[in-house]
Structure 1
Amino acid sequence: MLWLDHVAVACTGLETGVTAAENALGVALAPGGEHVAMGTHNRLLSLGAGEYLEVIAINPTAPPPGRPRWFDLDRFAGPPRLASWVCACDDMATALAACPAGVGRPMELARGDLRWQMAVPDDGRLPFDGVFPALIRWDGSAHPAPRLPDHGVRLTGLRLSHPEADALRQTLAALIADPRLVVTQGAPGLSATFSTPQGERRL
């Protein structure tokens, strides 16, 4: 029903996050854009096979959106880190009905010729303390990943940690089958492993 679309690195300032990601992965990120409805902006990196990484932060020059921002950015603090992962679906209503309460309400969004629908939680925080994936549905064939320079970086593993690991694992098993996903017991958090031209790297 769901498949991995992209992973998101949150930061308090976009340039700080970009520098951290580029240093960690050894490649340059491409320009992204602004999200007017959320008051955020990003930079992007192709992960091949229709997947990408985004570094996202509050845009200090944008007006406040009048609602909690996605990825719980209003409460984000500390150094840049992997803060969320985003899964795509063909039908948002069906996907939301199969997910835990709190995944969010669909918002229609656009940037240039990109059109998509994203489920955004009312309080900005996804279920399982933010470890559950966000949902996205792209309209039409336009997608960021094929437009990005491909530096040979690939996501090889995504580890989800949560105190209620068994419940999270069972919930995800009914929604997505991806051998790269591993759910472990521990404090809420995410980490990812990538293959790069410089070898294995982690975020």
Structure 2
Amino acid sequence: MTTLTFDHLAVTAPDLDAGTAWVEASLGVELAPGGKHPVMGTHNRLLGLAPHEYLEVITVDPEAPAPDRARWFGLDQVSGPPRLTSWVLRCDDIDTALAALPPGAGRVLALQRGDLRWRMAVPDNGLLPFDGLFPALIQWDCPHPAPNLPDSGCHLVELSLAHPRAKDLDQLLSPFLDAPRIQFLSKPRAALSAVIDTPTGRKALRG
């Protein structure tokens, strides 16, 4: 049986400074430096949430050449203020995981940044199913990066996925999902929201 485990959250924004400022103001903590993703023309900043969990602010890198494909996390369509956009699940065998799930989750790309090596499923158009609320899948081919991030004192308490077809999404993922903190809510509008414990109390990020 393929098991999918929560890995990280993605916040998108028009630019990296705006996204970083929004998360830092919302949670009252500082983000750590991230890096660049030349294949996608993006860059990020990071916040550790647990030994094997984190949050990233990821945006288009204005200094990078435009990629020859759509960027991940729907970044080619991003507009408006920063928001919580996506969630990522990790697995030990991404090819087996994709074969067990419905089409649309993307094709596997082999990626690297410094010492980090990972494989990730990215749709050809950059847009995940269920209005972007279907999880992105990742397989780490190196030690997980989260233990190397500064201890932020933050921990994910709950992640809620609101969608008109939330029940369908739940049924698709539940046979594989090892993530009791994930809630599926039937709502008219698609949106993510995360409840996070911080050193100064419980806070929320919303999409």
Q: Could you state the TM-score of these two structures normalised by the residue count of structure 2?
A: 0.96
Structure 1 position 77, deviation (Å): 1.0
Answer whether contact 1:100 1:127 (CA < 8 A) is retained. Answer: no
How far apart in 1 are the matches of 2:66 and 2:24?
28
Structure 1 position 61, deviation (Å): 0.7
Aligned twin of 1:129: 131
Counterpart residue type for residue 158 of structure 1 = L
Aligned twin of 1:191: 193
How far apart in 2 are the matches of 1:43 and 1:127?
25
Q: Which runs of 5+ in 1 are unaligned?
A: none
The 3-state SS of whatever aligns with 1:127 is coil
Answer whether contact 2:160 2:194 (CA < 8 A) is retained. Answer: yes
Divergent runs of 4+, >4 A: none
Counterparts of residues 53-92 of structure 1 (less than 5 Å): 53-92=55-94
Aligned twin of 1:176: 177
How far apart in 2 are the matches of 1:110 and 1:77?
27
Counterpart residue type for residue 177 of structure 2 = I
The 3-state SS of whatever aligns with 2:178 is coil
Aligned twin of 1:35: 37
Match for residue 26 of structure 1 among 28, 46, 49: 28
Structure 1 position 103, deviation (Å): 0.5
The 3-state SS of whatever aligns with 2:168 is helix
How far apart in 1 are the matches of 2:101 and 2:24?
33
How far apart in 1 are the matches of 2:117 and 2:38?
13
Structure 1 position 48, deviation (Å): 1.1
Note the alpha carbon deviations across 1:3-37, whole angstroms, 9 max, x for none: 01100000010000000000001000000000000
Counterpart residue type for residue 163 of structure 1 = P
Answer whether contact 2:6 2:178 (CA < 8 A) is retained. Answer: no
How far apart in 1 are the matches of 2:17 and 2:86?
19
Counterparts of residues 96-175 of structure 1 (less than 5 Å): 96-141=98-143, 143-175=144-176
Counterpart residue type for residue 153 of structure 1 = C
Matched residues, percent identical? Answer: 56
The 3-state SS of whatever aligns with 2:177 is coil
Structure 1 position 49, deviation (Å): 2.7
The 3-state SS of whatever aligns with 1:20 is helix
Answer whether contact 1:101 1:127 (CA < 8 A) is retained. Answer: no
Answer whether contact 1:104 1:121 (CA < 8 A) is retained. Answer: yes
2:3 matched to 1:8?
A: no
Aligned twin of 1:94: 96
How far apart in 1 are the matches of 2:52 and 2:190?
27
Counterpart residue type for residue 35 of structure 1 = H
Q: How many residues align?
A: 202
Structure 1 position 166, deviation (Å): 1.2
RMSD: 0.8
How far apart in 2 are the matches of 1:123 and 1:189?
20
How far apart in 2 are the matches of 1:111 and 1:19?
24
